[in-house]
Amino acid sequence: RNKRNMRSLGEALGGKEKMCHIKILSSTTTLTDEGYTMSAVSSFNDEGRSRRPLLLASAGQKTPSLYMVVAMAQSFAWFFGLPILCKPLWGQLFHDRSPNESELILNLATILGTFAIYMAVIFPIYWLEIPFFEQYKIDPDHPWPWKKQQNTTNSGSSSISQSEQENEAARKLFWAMTKKSVQLMAINQCLLIPLLTHMKHVMFPTSAPSFDVVEDWPSYWEMLTDNGSMCLLHELGFYLSHRMMHSHKYLYQFHKVHHEYKQNNVMAAQHNHPIDYILTIVGPALLSTVIVNPHSVTQFQFAVWILVTNLDDHCGYSFPWSPVRWFPFASLTEQHEFHHAINMGCFASKLNIYDKIFDSETTYLKWSKKRDAKSSHPAKEE
C-alpha cells in the first residue's frame, strides 16, 4: 500500500516512480523513497546539511503564537468591522436596483474584488521571494515555474543546455496554464455567475437577500448564526460533490482539470472546468444561501470567507497568520496540499468535520503522525 501511495505521489508531482528527494507539505518535511525525515528547526539541502534555521516555521497554523493572535485579529475584523464599512455603502449601491440586479452586482464584485485584493498581497511575495515568507513555502526545493533559473554548474555545456531547456519548457508550460486559467475564470465568473444568479431568482424567488439598511440590517448574533449555518451546509455540499468528482470516472474527467497544476499557486484556485465549477464551487454556495436566506451583508461576509479559504488552499504557502485556519475544526492548508499531492483523501476545504465523520483523512493523519514522530526523534545520519 505504501508503494502504491508513493507511486501516486510521484505521478501527482510529475516525478518518476523512483524518487530521490521530493519536498512536500511543509518547509521542513522531506519525503524520500526510504521514508519520512523531518527537522523541526532546520531545512536541509540534498546532502542533508543544515541550510538555514527555520525556528519560525515550527509555528503551525494552529500552534498558539503571536501569529495566531494576528490571525484572530483578521477574523474579528472580518466579522465585526466589515459590516460597519458596508452599511453606508449598501444604501448608495443598491437603493434603486432590483433584487436580481443587486445580487448579481454583489456576487461579481465580491468574487473579482477578493481575487484582485488577494493577488495584490500575494504577488510581491511570489515575485520578491523574501526569506521571511519563503520559510513558509510548501515546496521550497522547487522554484516557482515562472522564474528563469541561472545555471551555474560546471559539468559541461551539454548538461547546462539540457537544464536550460527544461527550465524554459517549465516556464512555457506555466504561462500556457495561466492563460488557460484566465480563460476558465472568464467563463466561470463572467458567464456562469450571472446565469446561475438569474436561475436562482427564477427557481427560488423568495430567497432573494435583503439589501435594506434600516429595518432588516442583521444583528451580530444573526450574522454569527447565519454564517455558521451556511458554513456547515456549504462544507457538506462541497465535501460530497468533491468526493463524488473523485469517485466517478465520468465526473473526474471534469475535475482533473483542477489538478493540472503540479505546483499550486493562486491561479490553481481559479482553474476549474465549468462543469466542476457548477457542481463543487457555485452549487454548494448557492444552495446554502437559498436554505439560510441571509441578509445580503451576511452573504457578502460568507462569500469573502470561502473565497479567501479557496485562495489560501492553493497559494503554495502555509502561513501561520492565516485568518481561516486558527480555530477548532478548521482544515489546514497542508491538508488540501496533501490532497493535491496524492490525489486522494482530505476532500474538505474550510472545515475538517466531514473528513472526520466520513473517515477520509486517514492517509493524511498517518503521514502527519509519522512526520511528527520523526520531528521528535530525528533519524541519525548514516
Which residues, at least 6 apart from 248, have a Cβ–Cβ distance to it below 8 Å? none
> What pLDDT score was predicted for residue 375?
64
Angle between helices 333-342 and 2-12 (to 10 degrees): 100
Residue 103: the pLDDT is: 94
Let me know: does 247 contact 279? Beta carbons within 8 Å: no
Percent of the chain's residues with pLDDT above 90 = 55
Q: Quick check: pTM over 0.75? A: yes
pLDDT recorded at residue 150:
59
Q: pLDDT tens digits, residue range 167-221?
A: 788 888 889 999 999 999 999 999 999 999 999 999 998 889 999 998 899 999 9
Please state the separation of Cα 204 from the chain's center in Å. 30
Task: Identify whether the C-beta of residue 258 lies closer than 8 Å to the C-beta of residue 340.
Answer: no
Q: What is the pLDDT of residues 254-311, one digit of tens each?
A: 999 999 987 889 999 999 999 999 999 999 999 999 999 999 999 999 999 999 999 9
Locate 220 and state its grid cell: 451580530
Mean pLDDT value across residues 29-37: 29
Buried/exposed 133-144: b ≥16 CB within 10 Å, e otherwise: ebbbbbbbebeb
How much is the mean pLDDT over the chain?
Answer: 80
Helix (H, G, I), strand (E, B) or coil at 75: helix
pLDDT band at 377 (very low <50, low <70, confident <90, very high): low
Task: Extract the C-alpha cell encoding 362.
Answer: 486517514
